[in-house]
């Protein structure tokens, strides 16, 4: 096994020097008491959209689940390997989070793949193709809308994928039960990488509204 890349080693040194040494008590508390996050964020693997940075979260504040295109498959208790479902179960059943946030983003490569795959058959042994097939029905609807530009198709499907994941979340019985009891809330947001804007989904309509930036005194 080779040594870590130098960039990671220097990054770790910076983490210890500029962060950890100033937060030792907090990290010790996390080690002693465990994690108690109130929020689960389902985000994309994309290196440009980092939930902890977007929401300025400290260690222990949010539980993050990341996969390609921030997708949630429907509940499927077939005793296979389901990483996303396992993380959902851990966050909801054991950590008892109060909020689940599906965080999508602009320029998503997974969504772009789904749009391209509408014109050809998916390869059954292709992991990405099989995973993104979850979005193909929605992608076909978007592609068939000739009024949309290529960029508008991309953004539309990125936001539809969030709605799709929120719908699938409710197929998990223990998520649906907690939501109906009012002890678990589901949210959808979309992050624009280039502008830094965050758009929040209205549950009633599925439309996205830009989150206003508060004025701060300089």
Instruction: Decide the pairing of beta strands 62-67 and 185-191.
Output: unpaired
d(CA 47, CA 59): 18
List the structure tokens of 18: 């500029």
- For residue 99, what are the β-bridge partners? 39, 185
Here the tokens at position 197 are: 């804007």
Q: Is 99 left (phi over 0), alpha (psi -120 to 50) or beta?
A: beta
45 marked as part of a ligand binding site: no
**108 in a labelled binding site:** yes
The reply, when asked if residue 105 is annotated as ligand binding, is yes
Nearest Cα to 105, choosing from 198, 185, 186? 198
| Alpha helices by DSSP H, the chain | 6-18, 24-33, 51-54, 83-89, 109-117, 127-132, 136-144, 150-169, 173-181
Chain position carrying tokens 């946030």: 101
Sequence ranges of the binding site = 44, 46, 105, 108
Sequence ranges of the binding site for Zn(2+) = 44, 46, 105, 108
């Amino acid at each position: 096994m080779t040594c870590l890349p130098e960039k990671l080693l220097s990054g770790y040194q910076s983490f210890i020097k500029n962060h950890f040494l100033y937060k030792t008590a907090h990290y010790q508390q996390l080690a002693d008491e465990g994690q108690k996050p109130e929020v689960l964020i389902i985000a994309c693997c994309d290196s440009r959209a980092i939930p902890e940075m977007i929401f300025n979260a400290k260690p222990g504040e949010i539980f993050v689940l990341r996969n390609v295109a921030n997708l949630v498959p429907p509940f499927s208790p077939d005793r296979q390997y389901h990483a996303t479902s396992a993380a959902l179960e851990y966050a909801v059943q054991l950590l008892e989070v109060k909020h689940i946030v599906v965080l999508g983003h602009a320029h998503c490569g997974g969504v772009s793949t789904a749009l391209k795959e509408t014109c050809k058959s998916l390869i059954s042994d292709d992991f990405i193709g099989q995973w993104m097939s979850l979005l193909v029905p929605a992608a076909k609807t978007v592609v068939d809308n000739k009024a949309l530009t290529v960029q508008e198709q991309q953004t539309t499907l990125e936001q539809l994928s969030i709605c799709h994941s929120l719908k699938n979340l409710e197929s998990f019985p223990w998520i649906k039960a907690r939501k109906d009891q009012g002890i678990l809330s589901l949210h959808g947001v979309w992050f624009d990488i280039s502008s830094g804007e965050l758009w929040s989904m209205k549950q009633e309509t599925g439309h996205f509204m830009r989150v206003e930036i508060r004025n701060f005194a300089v």
